[in-house]
């Protein structure tokens, strides 16, 4: 067993991701000698105590971060600004402030200016999740074989970045660093747009007249079902992701919409060659994923 990387890890928010980190720390060791959890509701904290996955719970973020040498924001990204404001004066000198949010420019915009001089700020994004949420949904294997992207602002202490990289490697992840703006563009197309589309088509189906709506459910296995799984994800988390990656998401949605309109035009005018070509490109992408063992 490796020596723990941190003496005390404070998790601000303990849903799917936070509770999975807590379980890695508890079940495998090597992350932190002590784990403190803070959540918005007493109900969540009570449940976390019942689950026995952390050493201590705190209702106040200030108390949770006191004396911690690693503080990890695991709340929806829209809550970061207020959280950072609350905890900034209570962060221990030399501690690492990190997060797990799906948008990174917004985190640097909202949290960056509030980080005290003596604190290292290392934004991170573990690309892992399921359609379930809350502290019961977490599990220690969640991060295994998945990427974790670090987006440290220019000038961040290299040792702090390496410690967070090692943290995620000990969770089983592959780690790389990325420019925050590039991160947000890539995630817009691989994750945020697919989720927006999935939520939208579920709403479109929900708006159908009674009888058809019922049959959508009955015959969902014909393709629709594949879209609904990711549409079951946490609403507040995704609302915040959309609002905090606005420009990249709107650009990718605009590109997608242009392409869908071109497809619609081809369907309307019977342009068989165009349709077939677009379908073949879809297959090619799928084949690339299979070749890269990402399918």
Q: Which of 66/127 has CB closer to a copy of itself? A: 127
Q: Is 9 or 233 the residue whose CB approaches a copy of itself more closely?
A: 233
Measured from the CB atom, the residue of 37 and 252 that comes closer to a copy of itself is 252
Minimum CB distance to a copy of itself smaller for 85 or for 255: 255
Which helix (H) or strand (E) segment is 27 a member of? helix 16-28
Smallest distance, a copy of itself to C-beta of residue 127, A: 5
Least distance in angstroms from the C-beta of 249 to a copy of itself: 6
Whichever of 85 and 176 has its CB closer to a copy of itself, that residue is: 176
60: left (phi over 0), alpha (psi -120 to 50) or beta: beta
CB of residue 57 to a copy of itself, shortest distance in Å: 27
Q: Are strands 124-126 and 147-150 parallel, antiparallel or unpaired?
A: antiparallel
> Rounded to whole angstroms, how far apart are CA atoms 22 and 73?
13
Query: What's the token pair of residue 266?
Result: 């081809």
Residue-wise DSSP of 252-293: HHHHHHHHHHHHHHHHHHT-HHHHHHHHHHHHHHHHHHHHTT
Q: How far is CA 214 from CA 207, 217, 219, 252, in A?
A: 11, 5, 9, 32
Q: How far is the CB of 193 from a copy of itself (least distance, A)?
A: 7
CB of 185 to a copy of itself, least distance (A): 6
């Amino acid at each position: 067993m490796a020596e723990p990387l941190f003496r005390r890890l404070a998790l601000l928010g303990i849903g799917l991701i936070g509770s999975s980190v807590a379980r890695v720390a508890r079940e495998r060791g090597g992350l932190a000698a002590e784990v403190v959890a803070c959540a918005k509701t007493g109900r969540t904290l009570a449940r976390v105590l019942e689950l026995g996955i952390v050493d201590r719970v705190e209702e106040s973020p200030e108390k949770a971060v006191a004396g911690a040498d690693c503080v990890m924001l695991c709340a929806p990204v829209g809550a970061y600004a207020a959280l950072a404001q609350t905890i900034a004066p209570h962060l221990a000198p030399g501690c690492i402030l990190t997060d797990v949010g799906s948008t990174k420019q917004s985190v640097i915009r909202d949290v960056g200016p509030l980080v005290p001089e003596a604190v290292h700020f290392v934004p991170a994004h573990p690309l892992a999740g399921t359609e379930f949420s809350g502290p019961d949904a977490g599990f220690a294997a969640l991060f295994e074989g998945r990427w974790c992207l670090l987006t440290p602002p220019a000038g961040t202490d290299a040792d702090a970045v390496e410690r967070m990289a090692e943290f995620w490697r000990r969770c089983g992840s592959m780690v790389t660093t990325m420019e925050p703006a590039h991160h947000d563009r890539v995630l817009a197309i691989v994750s945020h747009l697919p989720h927006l589309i999935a939520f939208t088509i579920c709403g479109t189906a929900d708006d159908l007249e009674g009888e058809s709506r019922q049959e959508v459910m009955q015959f969902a296995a014909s393709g629709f079902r594949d879209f609904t799984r990711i549409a079951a994800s946490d609403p507040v988390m995704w609302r915040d992701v959309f609002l905090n990656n606005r420009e990249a998401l709107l650009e990718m949605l605009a590109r997608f919409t242009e392409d869908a309109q071109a497809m619609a035009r081809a369907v309307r005018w019977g342009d068989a060659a165009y349709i077939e070509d677009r379908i073949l490109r879809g297959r090619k992408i799928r084949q690339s994923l299979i070749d890269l063992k990402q399918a």
